[in-house]
Amino acid sequence: MHAPESQENVWGNEVIDSWDDQALTDIRPAHGQLSVHISNGIFKECEFVRLFLCKKLCYIWDEDKCEFFKLAGLDEAVSTACLHQQQGLTLEGQKLRRVVYGDNEIVVPVKGIITLLFLEVLNPFYVFQLFSFCLWFADDYIYYAMAILAMSAFGIIMAIIQTRKNQFNLRSTVHSSDVAMVLRKSLDKPESIPTEHLVPGDILMIPRHGCVMHCDAVLLTGNCIVNESMLTGESVPVTKTPLPNSPDILYDSKEHARHTLFCGTQVLQTRYFGNEWVLAIVIRTGFSTAKGSLVRSIMYPPPVDFKFEHDSYRFVELLAAIASIGFCYTVITKFMRGISLSTIALEALDLITIVVPPALPAAMTVGRFYAQSRLETKGIYCISPRTINVSGSIDCVCFDKTGTLTEDGLDMWGVVPVTDRKFQVPVKFIDKMKYDEITFGMVTCHSLTIIDDKLSGDPLDLKMFQSTGWLLEEPEVNDNSKFEMIFPTIVRPPKTNERSSHSKEEEYFSDTPPLEIGIVRQFPFSSSLQRMSVISRRLGAAHFHVYCKGSPETILSLSLPDT
């Protein structure tokens, strides 16, 4: 296979033989050295690289250990401080790195018609049917043989057409392309490049108006509001915060998911100081990304020991055993009567074709085609139609969490305050509560934001905030710049219902009106920490407050025992 045009000026005479799976390849650049990530952002310089691709993943040969290892991006054995220290790549370094990592694209290969035909025809049922057709034709069962052949051919053709159509649909759905702005080490200004040219180590500039991510990147500066419904199915926007800068913390894609912009997700808005850019560093590209892993799981599903398959083959084996008894009986009795061997062979083999239903594979193919058509009307594409038969034997389906089988809506029941280490009478009218620590915590400790003039966020946070009657406001400027300010979110009580603060609050906050609280910094909920927190400041106050909420055991571990 020839090298892509954009890379011809990088490779020398010894270009790669093939980018297809299982192809062992030697890559040697015409000038410069290739770089392969080892650990902690350190790239090993090599004169040539030997690699092969398996199920769209690249494996590199290690000369020192004499073994292949999976090509890693900047997501393995890298400290968070190392990611913050990256300053982008030079144009030459980016080209050399792209030789190893390939283009940043997720392309679903479409199998040829001949390949699909062989995969369908080589089914054991169809092999047996071909044998039966030849036998019937030799025994002058021409009309019956032609009818079965026509039905089978129709089923095979329709199955191939449907499978190929679904493959094209999946390919068009998955593939996407755009233009990205990256920081170049050798240039004073950002450079615009196609997203296919992105490699691990590139510094992305996230547009203020948002974008669709075409790679996995770690947020270095600023905040992003992201819609991750493509990956998680949750339509609630998620706030992404910058990655902590610590040499002792290794980056982990699961632990630091709140700082990672995943491929395929949509950045709705960005937030940062003044005119500064929101920056993110590319850590994974192509099929190594979260979206790429999802596509690979569709293309190469894990082998499953389907009981249906085993039962169908046992059924055929049982029929074959019955047919063998009749075969032996027919051969013996016909031979004793002195009938010719050719007639004996035809009649004995014909007995086998009668015992095993000849129209069974055609009927199953037509059934699968009909099932595929019904699935397509629901927007479901199946590129492995043979597995449809298995769905008929499913007797248990398990779902997770609220919102899948139940309603998304929540209702606020009340608040149970605590005074002198004792629970008090529950307060049902939240908007009538005094302005104390509980109220201030409820109106600030959340991850709500305004998108398209609508308050959005976690349903629990949304219901809790709305029950207080307070208002959440963001600066009255256009959507492209309102999140660039240092205090993007302000909460205040309704103008018709302003009351003085609780007496205890007067010890903490200034009495300067009006009553407004700015949310200075948000630390979104972390499943590993089981909590979230915010830093807030009341207008005119000389100090900050930190509010935290989470699971009971986590809050208990952070609380003073004497309280």
Q: Which of these ranges, 96-110, 375-389, 397-411, has the smallest mean pLDDT?
A: 397-411
538 forms beta bridges with 517
The pLDDT score that the predictor gives to residue 295 is 87
The pLDDT score that the predictor gives to residue 481 is 41
The pLDDT score that the predictor gives to residue 443 is 92
Higher pLDDT among residues 357 and 377, named by residue? 377
Q: What is the mean pLDDT of residues 144-149?
A: 83
Q: Could you give the CA distance from residue 373 to residue 382 in angstroms, rounded to a whole number?
A: 10
pLDDT at 240 over 80: yes
| Residue percentage of the chain with pLDDT more than 90 | 6
pLDDT at 22 over 60: no
pLDDT tens for residues 96-109?
888 888 888 888 88
Grouping H, G, I as helix, E, B as strand and the rest as coil, residue 127 is helix
**Considering 305, 400, 452, 453, which one is annotated as catalytic?**
400
The pLDDT score that the predictor gives to residue 533 is 92
Q: Which helix (H) or strand (E) holds 532?
A: strand 531-538
Q: Which helix (H) or strand (E) holds 363?
A: helix 360-377
The pLDDT score that the predictor gives to residue 45 is 67
Q: How confident is the model at residue 479 (pLDDT cuts 50, 70, 90)?
A: very low
pLDDT tens for residues 421-457?
888 899 888 888 888 888 999 999 988 888 777 888 7
pLDDT tens for residues 26-83?
666 666 566 666 554 556 666 677 778 888 888 888 777 788 878 888 888 788 888 8
Higher pLDDT among residues 188 and 172, named by residue? 172
pLDDT at 6 over 50: no
449 forms beta bridges with 456
Rounded to the nearest 10°, the torsion over CA 214, 218, 222, 228 is: 50
Grouping H, G, I as helix, E, B as strand and the rest as coil, residue 216 is strand
pLDDT at 374 over 90: no
Let me know if 400 is a catalytic residue. yes
Grouping H, G, I as helix, E, B as strand and the rest as coil, residue 464 is helix
pLDDT tens for residues 331-344?
888 888 888 888 88
**Whether 179 contacts 255, CB under 8 Å:** no
pLDDT at 461 over 70: yes
pLDDT at 315 over 90: no
The pLDDT score that the predictor gives to residue 280 is 92
Grouping H, G, I as helix, E, B as strand and the rest as coil, residue 47 is coil
Grouping H, G, I as helix, E, B as strand and the rest as coil, residue 463 is helix
**Whether 105 contacts 198, CB under 8 Å:** no
The pLDDT score that the predictor gives to residue 504 is 44
pLDDT at 484 over 50: no
Q: What is the mean pLDDT of residues 212-238?
A: 84
Higher pLDDT among residues 201 and 389, named by residue? 201
Locate tokens 């699968």: which residue? 368
Measured between alpha carbons, how far is residue 115 from residues 84, 164, 382, 396 in Å?
48, 11, 17, 35
Q: Could you give the CA distance from residue 184 to residue 204 in angstroms, rounded to a whole number?
A: 10
